[in-house]
Structure 1
Amino acid sequence: MKKTLSWILLLLGAVGYLACDDGIDYEKMRQEELALLEEYINEVHPDGEPTASGLYYFNESGTGEGDTIKTGDRVQLYYATWSLIDGPDSILVDETNGYLDGHRYEPYEVIVGAGQSIKGLEEALLYMQKGTKSHLVINSELAYGQQGSGTLIGAFQTILMEVEIYKVIPFEFNDDDE
């Protein structure tokens, strides 16, 4: 019985491995991303230190007012996103909610901690206040991971964001719901 069970498990494992093997070396892609990220940080932000999750955020001095954003707050922000693709070079992938070349669009709104945005952005918001302008460097684990996002952000790509906090609506517990 044990031999039969062992053979079945071995066979299932082999079938599972073959079914999942799409010929892409994801570990190599991840290592290439990490090398590119390190090169970018060393060249553009040599004194940068990541958070425990690997997020880099660089708030501009003199920006931001009031209390730090908290989980549950509703935040409206402007942003532009680039994909880090070659050394310190990057390509613009999304300015629809950005503020490039003096153009303002409708702000993007997110409830912090509700999973409405990528992990890296939601974490970075917790280090900001209304009016904060920040440059974010978000590795793929905190962004779109192995699957990427659409045709512009591929698998294992670090993204760069310029963010400006427009409005913060603090979370208010409503005890009328009891």
Structure 2
Amino acid sequence: MKRIILAAASAVLLLASCQSDFNKTATGLVYTIFPGKGGDSVKPGEFVKYNVEYSLTERSGKKDSLLQSSFDKMPGFGQVDTGARAAYSILEIMPKLRAGDSATVVLSCDTLKKKNMLDPTDSVIFTKGSTILCKIKIIATFKNQADAMADYTKEIDKQNAREIKMVEDYMAKKGVKGVKTKSGAFVTIDNPGDQSNKADSGMLASIKYKGYLQSDGTVFDTNLDSSKGHLDPLNVTVGAHQVIPGWEEALPYFGKGGSGKIYVPSFLGFGLQGSPPVIPPSANLVFEIQVLDVKPAPPVTAGPAMPPTR
């Protein structure tokens, strides 16, 4: 897929440089459309389901990288907007498309910085003269929000199932067998700890942990050593929604003194948005944990779910 995108970028940039057969919006957005089979048109105010992929190409052409892609993952959903916020973005060309159409769009990083759509001081990733290549494919259109939400719910279920399968495949590759929680996290127990004093709902558990990305093993947070700047245990009132759902479901498997791992599919972790910059969107996670202590929790007021990161 990446080769196809980059090949398309080269083609569009070549056309642009030759002042030849290419299209440009009023804001200077360079694009080309690949017609599908003549599906429903994308109309302002209606809702659209689409896949999108972004890759970065440096001016030298020697370096390119995939930034984000929804292909083979959870597609995007949104309302078609022709207002000011659509300027110099993929939203600007959506009304030119139909269901089944694809388009390639070239975004100048310099222009995006001038429009405050990128950090103007970021010259490390988005270098001067670099471009962001976007490929978009319209999957379907919806007349109203209710129809779009119904389809969105179906896609969420599919995405959750994909993430669980990815965790299962990862564990199988590692030769690890675990216990599946009610929603789809997995727990492996090295030491169950004191089963008469479990980290159950209403209990205050004192935790040491290390969290890393399932994809490449990058450690994003830990208090097992000083690499992330803190060593103090994390105190969690189980059942009070202070941590991600994957932890809420997994902690009751451990008692005081227990240890093991928690394998968390993205939807039970940080979800489609991730936790930038350390946790990417739709990232499955692995946690090594040690339950140092468990005791009755003082009364607390439930708040929004928080990550087990500082």
Give the TM-score taking structure 1 as reference length: 0.72
Deviation at 1:83, TM superposition (A): 0.7
2:278 counterpart letter in structure 1: L
**RMSD after superposition:** 3.0
CA distance in 1, matches of 2:221, 2:247: 14
The match for 2:178 is 48
2:212 counterpart letter in structure 1: W
Give the TM-score taking structure 2 as reference length: 0.44
Q: What is the correspondence of 1:120-159 to structure 2 with a 5 Å cutoff?
A: 120-159=246-285
CA distance in 2, matches of 1:34, 1:133: 22
Deviation at 1:45, TM superposition (A): 3.9
Whether the 8 Å CA contact 1:81–1:161 is kept in 2: the answer is yes
Task: Choose from 79, 84, 99 the match for 2:214.
Answer: 84
Indicate whether 1:93 and 2:123 are aligned: no
Whether the 8 Å CA contact 1:79–1:99 is kept in 2: the answer is no
**Is the alpha carbon distance of 1:17 and 1:168 closer, same or farther for their aligned partners in structure 2, counting shifts above 3 Å?**
same
Provide structure 1 residue ranges, at least 5 long, that are not aligned to the other structure. Answer: 1-12, 174-178
Q: State the Cα deviation string for residues 57-109 of structure 1 (Å, max 9, x = none).
A: 01114x51242222111111100000111xxx4211112x23489xx810011
CA distance in 2, matches of 1:137, 1:115: 18
Whether the 8 Å CA contact 1:26–1:146 is kept in 2: the answer is no
Structure that is richer in helix per residue: 1
Whether the 8 Å CA contact 1:143–1:159 is kept in 2: the answer is yes
Indicate whether 1:17 and 2:47 are aligned: yes
Look up the SS of the partner of 2:253 in the other structure. Answer: coil
Deviation at 1:171, TM superposition (A): 3.7
Q: State the Cα deviation string for residues 20-71 of structure 1 (Å, max 9, x = none).
A: 868363761547645532321111244334222111101114x512422221
Deviation at 1:124, TM superposition (A): 0.9
Q: Who wins on radius of gyration, i.e. which is larger?
A: 2
Which structure has the higher relative contact order (CA within 8 Å, separation 6+)? 1
The match for 2:295 is 169
Task: Choose from 64, 80, 85 the match for 2:193.
Answer: 64
Look up the SS of the partner of 2:272 in the other structure. Answer: coil
The match for 1:3 is none
Look up the SS of the partner of 1:160 in the other structure. Answer: strand
CA distance in 2, matches of 1:16, 1:152: 35
Structure that is richer in strand per residue: 2
The match for 1:111 is 237
Deviation at 1:142, TM superposition (A): 0.8
The match for 2:144 is none
Deviation at 1:168, TM superposition (A): 1.1
**Is the alpha carbon distance of 1:74 and 1:34 closer, same or farther for their aligned partners in structure 2, counting shifts above 3 Å?**
closer
The match for 1:7 is none
Percent identity of equivalent pairs: 26
